[in-house]
Structure 1
């Protein structure tokens, strides 16, 4: 074989190896350091379908996101126009409380229910929370097992997003899978919840997906 041909083969082989390594590097899932803050005034609309102990419903749910004050500090209030909502820590987006239709807390979590940052594919952890029911003050423990399963494209009516798929379960057997995008400030793009018949509230299922997100103009 001619020297020139051998050189050509070696060049092509090394080039292919380089391109292959670059391709592998480009598919490495990113690590999310934090959740981008939700812009106050943002409105998100979801389609929710649920049954059993998670409520019989099939329709749209519109959420308004605005700043409010709780325990002397600013927090993000996400309120469904059809009823109650949630309070979130502004820095981490951890859930502080569930609120009633009037915006006042009815259930609080200590510490807040939050992801363990940074978030990376394959990461697992366990969290423990004290749940307080108001106004009675009755308390219980919530134990959650978390796993970040994938970083992938998820397509919903609002569009296609690069998102983390995370699954968590608690000691009552409830399991939730959620797709979220920290870089886009979207804590929920799509979600699926299942409760077994052994759950204290009975069996139930829920599916939700993002229909639209409208952020206020600068």
Structure 2
């Protein structure tokens, strides 16, 4: 079972999300909170696999709450937003979120998004990844390119291929099919990639690859 926690200051939103996620046989809602300030305690108590996190909350917003989960690397965060791409989404990705959902996403897609993130993949389509790249493109391009190339040079050729697959928005299974290897092998390569670059966030890995190619 995938353990899900819901963080949103709107009680109605929490109730709707609980109903949606509870309708899936492999998801269980283990807790909820109405503010980001309560997230560390919620995670420590309920040990969720995925936290579905609102961005705008009165005391501690979803960005800071995500940042406070740095000590829980096994917990994945999906941020909720009303707008497809705004500055809050970029900040949440930088804080460590694995992706984002629109609040009007259809129930079936919400459920699948939680499954995707729980499996260790990023909930960002290639178009969203491109938008993130474009957002950061105008500031420090040359420095980021040099730093990114230096980081990728530490990877083996196979690890670089896996990293490029992540940058294309592919899941582990899709990368495996593309490289003619098993999903387990892809996960092993990714573990080594993350160890070498000192990060465990697929979205930031995608940004790194795109920066290196810029």
Judging by fraction of residues, say which structure has more strand.
1
Higher relative CO (Cα under 8 Å, sequence separation at least 6) belongs to: 1
TM range (shorter): under 0.3
Judging by fraction of residues, say which structure has more helix.
2
Tell which structure's C-alpha radius of gyration is larger.
1
Q: TM-score, normalised by structure 1?
A: 0.27
